[in-house]
Amino acid sequence: MESSPPAVPGEPMRFRGNASDWLIAWHSADAMLAGTSNGAAGICVAGGRLVLISPDNVHWGFPAGRPEGDETPAETLRRELHEEACVEVLSARLLGFARSECVGGRLHGTVLVRSYWRAEVRIGPWEPEHEIRHRRIVPVEEAIQVVRDPDHVASRISHRALTEAGLVRVAD
């Protein structure tokens, strides 16, 4: 399967989901973005290994989720990584944001912002909760070949996050 190229920072990509049309773009960690928090996603690194999750054993990606109550993005990150990947966050560095703006359909006008982090983690015993049923631990060198989201735009965002985490080199 051919790899999706990383998203180009600031370049909107069209996506159709939730009966709506969206423009989704990657933004740097220092961007000041307006919108509703759509949670946090973490690239889990343990030594030279990457921890990935999957609900279906076909699409592999990063643990992520929405905030509960008044959680900060960093608190959401720690909770979601523990719940979905059974890892403990030792340290985390903000990589950037995916900003999704609904431009047509039932959610028109909605703006969602998800933070992406590189998290150094300790891998715990696999005790899956909620919707996640599969965990895979791969060498970081295999990340770009293994990370596959259900749609092309999400894969491009994930591949940009891998690039910002220093796990993938962008071709010149």
Mean residue pLDDT across the chain: 93
pLDDT confidence of residue 68: 95
Q: Which of 99, 7, 116, 17 has the alpha carbon at shortest distance from 63? A: 116
pLDDT given at position 110: 95
Q: What secondary structure letter does DSSP report for 170?
A: P
CB-neighbour burial class of residue 88 (10 A; exposed 0-12, middle 13-18, buried 19+): middle
Q: What pLDDT digit, counting tens, does each position of 58-78 carry?
A: 999 999 999 999 999 999 999
Give the closest residue to 164 by CA, choosing from 78, 115, 76, 96: 96
Each residue's pLDDT tens digit, 145-172:
999 998 999 999 999 999 999 998 765 4
- Percent of the chain predicted with pLDDT > 90: 87
Residue 2 has pLDDT above 60, yes or no: no
Residue 63, CA distances (Å) to 10, 13, 34, 40, 170 in order: 24, 22, 23, 9, 23
Summarised one tens digit per residue, pLDDT across range 109-123 is: 999 999 999 999 999
For 30-42, write each residue's pLDDT tens digit: 998 999 999 999 9
